[in-house]
Chain A
Amino acid sequence: MTKNPETRIAKRFEKLRAEGRAGLVTFTTAGDPDLETSVKILDGIAEAGADLIEIGVPFSDPMADGPAIQASSLRAIKAGMTLRKTLGIVAEFRKKDDETPIVLMGYYNPIYIYGVDTFLADAKKAGVDGLIVVDLPPEEEGELCLPALKAGINFIYLTAPTTTDARLPRVLDHASGFVYFVSITGITGTSSAKTTDVAAHVGRIRAQTDLPVAVGFGIRTPEQAAGIAAVADAAVVGSALVDQITANFDDNNKPGPGTVDAVLDLVKALAVGVRSVKKTETVS
């Protein structure tokens, strides 16, 4: 078992370092608002500027998510999205793009019900690079983290402002791929952190790991993304992209013709923001 399986994630962060910039990580939910639209979004998202792609696996009870992603998740479930179909989306994507890392983000129960070993084999085959499972802290690492590392998939741990320096080693023990710093104590799509606070926390994490640090929760605008790009290795944007889907609903709550472009336009703008920050010093 390698502690940090070599996946597209490590390669991508190497490339970003060589380019002297931070990365943009996008989050959209598989199957939101329907399979077709969500696939079109993913098909254009790397070209629009996403360096890493997070795909949300819908769950009925997303306890760490705010109203936007909750609703997104329920729309996707209603439209028939499942974990199996999510892996199908990844496999299709891989036929066209074999470089952009894909991370599945969600909650444990759908994976548990799918069966951990089958899921990991299917995910690896589909071309998944990493997993973020919100309700699996290091205390439950035996459930999925350790089997994932064995299967050659990165398990990405969340750290929060509440994760003290004393606790960090526990979280980082089997962390791989990158470390995801949740910049606020709160749920997705609500408040935003001050960049100075984020910088301090990222510094705390970097003092204890060589893994890249991505920052998410509350990043909505190109300006905010640029602010994060200056202090971290990547900025994650989710709710703001998901909001573009609802903003483009027609009168029948069906995706309007401009939906895909609206999401991708925001990705482009965010990418400009992230790329506007030149990193002179390489990240350790």
Chain B
Amino acid sequence: MNKLNTLRNGVDENGHFGIYGGRFVAETLMPLILEVEKAYEKASNDDGFWAEFDRLMKHYVGRPSPLYYAQRMTEHFGGAKIFFKRDELNHTGAHKINNTIGQILLARRMGKKRIIAETGAGQHGVATATVCALYGMPCVVYMGATDVERQKPNVFRMKLLGAEIIPVTAGTGTLKDAMNEALRDWVANVEDTYYLIGTAAGPHPYPMMVRDFQCIIGNETREQMYEQEGRLPDSLVASIGGGSNAIGLFHPFLDDDSVRIIGVEAAGHGIETGEHCASLKGGRPGVLHGNRTYLLQDDEGQIKDGYSISAGLDYPGIGPEHSWLRDIGRVEYVSVTDLEALEAFKLCTAKEGIIPALEPCHALAHVAKIAPDLPKDHLMVMNLCGRGDKDIFAVAERFGFDM
């Protein structure tokens, strides 16, 4: 087979990564999707757009986030040299803000007056409500009724920031239903509304656009690793819900063959139990939310609900670029259970004094599995993409601690 010159060209003109991606939306939305695509193309070729993005990243978000040599973790595992990419230190506590800043700038350029978003854990909702407050735009966040219950602190945060939260009871009341509702809102409010999608999924151009905004993670990592170690890392590990933090870290390294890249899905109670949200391990290609990608579904093509202790990973799909990277074998995808993630949570807190979000704990749990057997000069980067404040209630419950 011919080796492609680059894996970073992204999508073809119809928004496909291999057979994945595309624009599977109702006609009512189609003209809008094309408008977003055009507007983004224009913005992304405009230095002024990126200058504004960079300014906000630096002074509002607090970037660059450190690339931190986790010495005690490294000593604990006794193998690879482990680095944390500290995106949990961003304003609002996760990588989600990288994307919401980019998209709010685009929405403003497009003259949109109202922002809608879906959220699962509430991190994307908070990041969206934050940028809407920053620009004085009304914000409506759709959130599964089940998630509203289990993510109360983030619900309150969004309200403080002025967002209207609409609990979604349709379907099963989780993230996929919230996304359906947001799409329904958009269909009904096409004139003035911009749909700010929270992960690298959905119809073209969203997977590409969200990736581009999140690539700041990988680009910084590259530079910082050269500064600290004078060379490329040997491996990258990141957790995957829809796949935005992961693709943001991975993408700038896709053409560097020496870099081993690993995405970690949530195995929940275990793939074999059927209660998980590992779309690549436990699903198959299908079409949902505007794109073709691996999905959790039954034999009739009905979408199944995901399950994970981490609400942010609890999505039955995955961004289409990951589906493609899986099929061509450039990225390895593995999965980690709730219990393994909770062990990693304890370990990180105890050894590094960092309380991580449950999502990156999945990545860390995989690091724990492979780092001990790797040589000491192996440089491994783990994307610590969120902090654990939002998760302390869920964790307390698991550890039997009465809050």
Q: Report the tally of A-B residue pairs with Cβ distances under 8 A.
A: 114
Q: Are B28 and A112 in contact (CB under 8 A)?
A: no
The CB with the most chain A CB atoms within 10 A, among B14, B187, B295, is that of B187
Given A63-B289, A64-B184, A187-B188: A113 and B26 interface contact (C-beta under 8 Å): no
Interface size on A, residues (CB 8 A): 43
- Tell me the dominant secondary structure on chain B's binding face: mixed
Q: B403 → chain A, closest Cβ, in Å?
A: 35
> Interface with A: B77-85, B228-236, B297-305, B345-353, which one?
B297-305
Quick one: which of A62-85 are within 8 Å of B by CB?
62-64, 66-67, 70, 74, 77, 82-83
Neighbouring B residues of A167 by C-beta, 8 Å: 30-31
Quick one: which of A146-162 are within 8 Å of B by CB?
157-162
The answer to the question of A118 belonging to the interface, with a C-beta cut-off of 8 Å to chain B, is: no
Q: Are B300 and A110 in contact (CB under 8 A)?
A: yes
The answer to the question of B180 belonging to the interface, with a C-beta cut-off of 8 Å to chain A, is: yes
Interface size on B, residues (CB 8 A): 37
Neighbouring B residues of A136 by C-beta, 8 Å: 24
Q: A202 → chain B, closest Cβ, in Å?
A: 15
Neighbouring A residues of B25 by C-beta, 8 Å: 135, 137
Q: How far is the CA of A184 from the CA of B25 in the complex (A)?
A: 16
Neighbouring B residues of A134 by C-beta, 8 Å: 26
Neighbouring A residues of B303 by C-beta, 8 Å: 60-61, 109
The answer to the question of A24 belonging to the interface, with a C-beta cut-off of 8 Å to chain B, is: no
Q: Are B170 and A67 in contact (CB under 8 A)?
A: yes
- Tell me the dominant secondary structure on chain A's binding face: loop
Q: Are A140 and B188 in contact (CB under 8 A)?
A: no
Q: How far is the CA of A15 from the CA of B45 in the complex (A)?
A: 55
Neighbouring A residues of B189 by C-beta, 8 Å: 185
Q: A111 → chain B, closest Cβ, in Å?
A: 8
Q: Are B288 and A139 in contact (CB under 8 A)?
A: no
Q: A201 → chain B, closest Cβ, in Å?
A: 12
Given A59-B302, A110-B300, A113-B301: A185 and B23 interface contact (C-beta under 8 Å): no
The CB with the most chain B CB atoms within 10 A, among A59, A160, A171, is that of A160
Q: Are A186 and B187 in contact (CB under 8 A)?
A: yes
Given A61-B180, A110-B302, A134-B26: A70 and B187 interface contact (C-beta under 8 Å): no
The answer to the question of A190 belonging to the interface, with a C-beta cut-off of 8 Å to chain B, is: yes
Quick one: which of B15-40 are within 8 Å of A by CB?
22-32
The answer to the question of A164 belonging to the interface, with a C-beta cut-off of 8 Å to chain B, is: yes
Q: A29 → chain B, closest Cβ, in Å?
A: 14
Of the A-B pairs whose beta carbons lie under 8 Å apart in the complex, a sample of 19, sorted by A's number, is A61-B176, A61-B180, A62-B180, A63-B26, A63-B180, A66-B184, A67-B170, A70-B170, A113-B300, A135-B26, A137-B23, A137-B24, A137-B26, A158-B28, A160-B28, A162-B27, A162-B29, A182-B28, A184-B188
Question: Which of A's residues lie within 8 Å of B, judged by CB?
Answer: 59-64, 66-67, 70, 74, 77, 82-83, 107-114, 134-137, 139-140, 157-164, 167, 171, 182, 184-187, 190
Which 9 pairs show the lowest CB-CB distances between chains A and B?
A113-B301, A110-B301, A186-B188, A160-B28, A60-B302, A109-B301, A158-B27, A135-B24, A64-B26
